[in-house]
Amino acid sequence: MEIQQSLKLTIHKKWPSSPKKTSKDSEPINTTATPKLKWKKIFFHTKTKPKIQNPPDEFLCPVSRSLMFDPVIVSSGHSFERSSVEACKNLNFTPQLPDGTTPDFSTLIPNLALKSAILKWCHTTHTPPPLPHNNLVQQTSIFPDTKLVQHTSISPDTPNSNLVQTSISPNVGTVEEKLSDRDPILDSLDENPPPTNLRRHAETEVPIRPTHLYTSSEESIATSSASTPPFQLATRPSCCYYSSPSSSEIEPAATPEEEEITGKLKSPLQNIVEEALLSLRKLTRVREETRVQLCTPRILSALRSLVLSKHVNVQVNALASLVNLSLEKSNKVKIVRSGMVPPLIEVLKFGSPEAQEHCAGALFSLSLEDDNKTAIGVLGGLGPLLQMLRVESERTRHDSALALYHLSLVQSNRSKMVKLGSVPVLLSMVKLGHMTGRVLLILGNLGSGSDGRAAMLDAGVVECLVGLLNVPDSATASTRESCVTVMYALSHGGLRFKAVAKAAGLVEVLQKVEKVGSERARHKVRKILEMMRAKEVEEEDVDWEELLDSGLGCRTRIRLGGGLDDSSVNSAEF
């Protein structure tokens, strides 16, 4: 009994517990954990840092190397931030791009497609969208050696502080500072300071009027003061005041006719919109002065949205009115700068046949202006126009071909067309006899570049044209002349053209054309034959046995092509 009682005391005795260890190794594993607890552990312990993505190079301004807020296309085909271009103009500075070229800032066209792509990328990658840049900041990014020093007499938070920005050139030892005179507006603000919460909001900030005082070519002093009366608060964020419009950008007062048409075009009722479009189409069909008067930013903005309308009648009438407006030479650049090209390209891709017909006519009319050629190519108009060469509508095909001809007069567009595979498409049309004259004009433009010549020789253009010239009845005088023009462009391709021409029997065909062709065709034929004979003489002058025996064949570069550009061939390339 005593043993049993002592055993009970031993079992039920509370032994002092040892302190719990906090190390993870000593923790017991809970094998009965619920699925909810497991998901909690995974949720709280598997957090990963989001990766920061670098923006694509085409989204960055070549000058400031930052995301573009307002991208524009310049005359040379490059895209820049508008404020960077304005800063370069103010500084009389032309940057040199990494490829060695220099841009042309004579014409600026808004690149709305690139702007929307940048904003979409920022939304997808959770990147803050770009903000407008100050002109002074852009000038500093262009010349990083220039230092900006800001002096404040009192804390910037106080309303009576005068801000002085001094541009110090590293080559100048002294700096001159000039404080702005006391502004009466600031005095009134001192007496009645605005509430703190209003001053912190961008929507209610008093806009700043920059005043630049230039003392020399190397020093500039900028003083800023308030420009609006007290308590007259701005209704837009202060970022909207980063640049002031020039006198040429100020819109003239709207005429009653324009006000009436614009009001109807923006009406929510479809019948009123159709009535306004029919009226605009009728007014701009014949009268040239009306086309100039009604080609205003307000009407173009309304038409831009109606071009993408889901109602076929509205879309067709809007496009027809746009074609009429584009017939006037002074309106062509206005239409492109209003951002009309991207909607037109959208209609070419997905619009109805009738809408595509008007759209091709509009792009053909706009491509006649030299300042628009590069912009249409950069905005992606070449590919859809090539697709329109295969549609059933004859008018659409003809207008698209003419638009491609005028656009291919620019080197950048020619390179894009070659990369898009235009040469096989155009060559197949020549073989089938579809719009042979217009297609040959485009091929003649493509043959003026080295990449175009290489693609045309690969596709067998020489053999096709020789076959076309061999049949007298199948080629008219204009077709023969166009064929000779294409051959003349290809003849600058070096030895490869000569080998292909000999194999195809081009010399005999050209001799026949020289007898019956026009004066221009005969002149080009003589040039081609002289060029081929000159290459033969140049080859005969080279003593290949002596060159090989001397052991210098692999080191001596002997030019054999005699071409006009880098497509000429030399012996070291074989």
Task: Answer whether 510's CB lies under 8 Å from 487's CB.
Answer: yes
N residues, the chain: 574
CA dist 400 and 398 (Å) reads 5
CA distance 79 to 90: 18
Helix crossing, 353-367 with 341-350: angle to 10°?
Answer: 140
pLDDT for 318-340, tens place per residue? 999 999 999 999 999 999 999 99
Of 570 and 436, the structure prediction assigns the larger pLDDT to 436
426 band by pLDDT with thresholds 50, 70 and 90: very high
- Per DSSP, the residues of 313-357 read HHHHHHHHHHHHHHTSHHHHHHHHHTT-HHHHHHHHHHS-HHHHH
Location of structure tokens 């909001």:
201
Residues in contact with 160: Cβ distance below 8 Å, sequence separation at least 6, in sequence order: 154, 186, 189, 190
Residue 422 has a pLDDT of 95
Alpha helices in 471-541 (DSSP H): 477-490, 495-504, 506-516, 519-541
Cβ atoms within 10 A of the Cβ of 302, count? Answer: 22
Quote the crossing angle between the two packed helices 422-432 and 461-470, to the nearest 10°.
20
pLDDT for 166 equals 36
- Supply 206's token pair: 């008093």
Question: For 336-382, how does the pLDDT look when each residue is reduced to its tens digit (9 = 90+)?
Answer: 999 999 999 999 999 999 999 999 999 999 999 999 999 999 999 99
Averaged confidence pLDDT in the chain = 73
pLDDT at 227 over 50: no
Print the SS3 string covering 100-132: CCCCCCCCEEECHHHHHHHHHHHHHCCCCCCCC
Q: Is 135 exposed, middle or buried (0-12, 13-18, 19+ CB in 10 A)?
A: middle
Q: Domain segments of the chain: what residues?
A: 57-137, 147-244
What tokens appear for 281 in the block? Answer: 């189409």
Nearest alpha-carbon partner for 173 in 222, 221, 220, 219: 219
Q: How much of the chain, in percent, has pLDDT values that exceed 90?
A: 36
Highest mean pLDDT out of 2-11, 64-73, 336-345 = 336-345
pLDDT of residue 125: 87
pLDDT at 244 over 50: no
Q: Are 313 and 278 in contact (CB under 8 A)?
A: no
Dmax over CA atoms of the chain, in Å, equals: 142
CA–CA dist 305, 266 (Å, integer): 10
pLDDT classification of 270: cutoffs 50, 70, 90: very high
Most confidently predicted of 86-100, 417-431, 533-547 = 417-431
Task: Kindly write down the DSSP assignment for every residue of 238-250, as one continuous string.
Answer: GGGGSSPPPGGGS
Of 221, 227, 226, nearest to 164 by C-alpha is 221
* Cα three-residue angle 327-331-336, rounded to 5 degrees: 105
For the stretch 522-549, pLDDT in tens is 888 898 888 887 755 555 554 545 544 5
Provide the Cα torsion 229, 235, 240, 244; round to 10°.
Answer: -40
pLDDT in tens, 476-523: 888 888 999 999 999 887 788 888 888 888 888 888 888 887 888 888
Angle at 500 between CA 494 and CA 502, to 5 degrees: 100
Can you name the residues that pair with 210 across neighbouring β-strands?
224
Give the SS3 label for residue 150: strand
- What fold does the segment set 57-137 form as a domain? Herpes Virus-1 (3.30.40)
- d(C-alpha 406, C-alpha 413), whole Å: 10
CA–CA dist 220, 177 (Å, integer): 9
Q: What is the pLDDT of residues 189-222, one digit of tens each?
A: 344 444 444 333 333 333 433 433 333 333 333 3
3-state secondary structure of 147: strand
Question: pTM (2 decimals)?
Answer: 0.59
More confident residue, 92 or 394: 394
> How far is C-alpha 33 from the chain's CA centre?
58
Pair 73, 378: CB distance under 8 Å: yes
What is residue 497's predicted lDDT score, i.e. its pLDDT? 87
Q: Which carries the bigger pLDDT value, residue 539 or residue 272?
A: 272
Lowest mean pLDDT across 3-17, 128-142, 272-286, 515-529 = 3-17
Distance, CA of 333 to CA of 343 (rounded, Å): 16
Are 392 and 353 in contact by the 8 Å Cβ rule? The answer is yes
- Are the C-beta atoms of 315 and 307 separated by less than 8 Å? yes
Angle at 188 between CA 184 and CA 191, to 5 degrees: 140
* pLDDT (average), residues 302-308: 94
Q: What is the CA radius of gyration of the chain?
A: 36
Asked whether 102 and 41 are in contact (CB, 8 A), the reply is no
